[in-house]
Structure 1
Amino acid sequence: MWRKENIMIVFSCVAFNILLVSVSSQSDQVHQDPPEIYSQPGTTATISCRHELQDYNRILWYRQPGGGGRMTLLGLMNVDQQQLEDGVTAKMSGGAMKGQTCLFTTEELQLGGTARYFCAAYNHCASGSYEAHFGGGTKLTVLEPNRTAIPPTVRVLKPSPNEGGQTRTLVCVATDFYPDHVSVSWTVNGNKRLSGVATDAAATRLDDFYRITSRLTVYVKEWQNRGKDFACVVDFFNGTETVNRIDSIRGVKGRLLFERKYLRIAQNAKLAYCAFIVKSCVYGAFVVFLLWKLQKSRKTEK
């Protein structure tokens, strides 16, 4: 069993690095597979971790509850020796040196045991201070009895007719899928769009299925273009591979642009008419003034 003093040494060296998990998870030097797993109650799951970091000789394993929150240390592989935390009955094998693969096999899974597992490559502080580098994580879901993966139904809704301003919002709704292993993205004419995208942080469960929404905000000029194709792509892991479900909608005829052009012409015509009226009034006043002067001149002569 791992001695308490060793726990303190490791945590004193890497505690501040745990906060870097969201950044380190993108490291291309630590490879964790698979990214997603479905398991049945009473079974186990195996995750692999490999790194390309010179002099790093330990791999730490963590578990984070499915709903997020604090990660729990499960144990570590020290070169080729497993050291598990008290009460953890998982198994590790392989090695923790550069290029070696460390396998982590969970204990028997129970319903509700959905979680994310992370591995982290690390070097003992005795030879210097090293940053812990995390793998991308593995999302593990324990399926409910007699249930299988069901991909989503996807639909893109056009902007609300009551929406004003210079932008329009398209809404993508993915429904009736199980479990919640999905990711949502948008494309415009086949090109991935990142700006203007807002997706729910997590899928919401409704009865026996899940639902997630995403929104794409575009400028009116782009929406009112029949040559634009706006597509919502929902990637879903079915237990074997990632499949996608897509729905799309085309831009509409630029009626608002025509209306704006018409209003601009009408406004210019109105201004021109007003100018004409003003000029006519000035001219009329001038004529009246001349007639008054002429009449006054005649009276003076008499």
Structure 2
Amino acid sequence: MFSLMRVFGLLLIYFYSQVGAVTFKEFPPQIVKESIEVQIPCSHDDNAKLQMLWYQQKKDSQSMTLIGFVYGQGSPTYEGQFEQQFKLTKEETTKGKLIIRSANPSDSAVYFCAATDNNAQPAYFGQGTKLTVLEKDHATKKPTVKVLPPSTKECRNKINPDKRKKTLLCVASEFYPDHVKVSWEVNGAKRVVGVATDNQASRPGSGANYKITSRLRVPAEEWFNPNNKFECIVNFYDGTATEDIKKIKYGVEAPDTGNTMNKETYLRKSQIGKLAYGVLITKSFVYGAFVMLVVWKLQGSSGKRNN
């Protein structure tokens, strides 16, 4: 029996995808109804890799489970009870299939095909094929998308205004199943820097629809420009076709912080300044005259005493 621990040891050290001597052909994801037979193909370009392995990775799991393998054109070897649900076939050295005899929602997962010379050699992995088995009475539904503008209170950096940032939030909700990808564009150009998207779509419970969020963080001066266009693009696959659902949010005018003045305000403040200056000059003149009067009186009194 093939050692599961040994396989995981190889997996941790030699996880390759389309590198080195092996290039795997990519196959599209599948969305199927319950109780039907599902075939997931595998194809690569290295005839020297005689052993083909299959793994299953369930959602919310960080590890993969070995289903089984086929060496050369021999009979398949399965781990545990997988033979009851799965069937492994090989048409030739570089081509094979994983067959799910009667799919049910618990089979929803990403299935990886790997190739190696033998158990002691590196295993090379493909990108994986995502399979979703639709839950009973739950039809596919495309997402509702909306983009929320940044908070007006976000990041008021008074020490370093150049580092002020604003965050736009894209929310895609009420979709099923979870075959979505989210991306951002600014003025028609793809934006990667400052983008943070949920690792995967989430749902509140079984039977509910999915939701995913993505955030775009941009410099404040970029947001405070009505000519800038921020676009969230949600790519949704319903099993037969892919659709892009887009939502746009435009930048806004910078808020009035009270530091700018129009002509009327400027003239009014100028007049107030001139009046204040005039009052100050008048007070200074009066004070000077008073001081001179006091000095004159003191001098007059001193002269009388001397006589």
**Displacement after TM superposition at 1:210 (Å):** 1.4
* Offset, 1:182: 0.9
Which residue type is aligned with residue 229 of structure 1? Answer: K
User: Within 1, Cα distance between the matches of 2:102 and 2:80?
Assistant: 16
Query: What's the secondary structure of 2:106's corresponding residue?
Result: coil
CA shift, 1:124, in A, is 1.7
Matched residues, number:
282
Residue 33 to residue 244, structure 1, CA distance change in 2 (3 Å): same
CA spacing shift, 1:298–1:64, aligned 2, 3 Å: same
Change (3 A) 1:260 1:200: farther
CA contact (8 A) 1:154 1:247 kept: yes
- State the identity %: 33
Q: Which residue of 1 aligns with 2:114?
A: 120
Alignment of 1:101 with 2:95, yes or no, is yes
Q: What CA distance in whole angstroms lies between the structure 1 residues aligned with 2:227 and 2:18?
A: 36
Gap change, CA 1:299 and 1:199, over 3 Å in 2: same
Q: CA deviation at 1:236?
A: 0.9
- Partner Cα distance (1:15, 1:113) in 2: 21
Q: Which amino acid is 1:241 matched to?
A: A
Distance apart, 1:217 and its partner CA:
1.4
Does 2:16 match 1:24?
Answer: yes
Deviation at 1:16, TM superposition (A): 2.9
Match of 2:140 in 1: 149
Show the counterpart of 1:255: 254
Q: Displacement, 1:72?
A: 1.4
Give structure 1 regions of 4+ aligned residues with deviation exceeding 4 angstroms: 25-28, 284-301
Larger radius of gyration: 2
- The aligned counterpart of 1:196 is 194
Match of 1:48 in 2: 41
- Residue from 51, 60, 63 that aligns with 2:53: 60
User: Equivalences for 1:95-244 in 2 at 5 Å?
Assistant: 95-96=92-93, 100-124=94-118, 130-165=121-156, 166-206=164-204, 208-244=208-244
Unaligned runs of 5+ in 2: 157-163
Distance in 1 (CA, whole Å) between partners of 2:289 and 2:34 is 105
CA distance in 2, matches of 1:66, 1:134: 18
**2:88 alignment counterpart:** 91
Contact 1:224 1:251 in 2 (8 A): yes
TM-score w.r.t. the length of structure 1 is 0.77
Residues 1:16 and 1:241: Cα distance change in structure 2 (over 3 Å): same
**SS at the partner of 2:82?**
coil
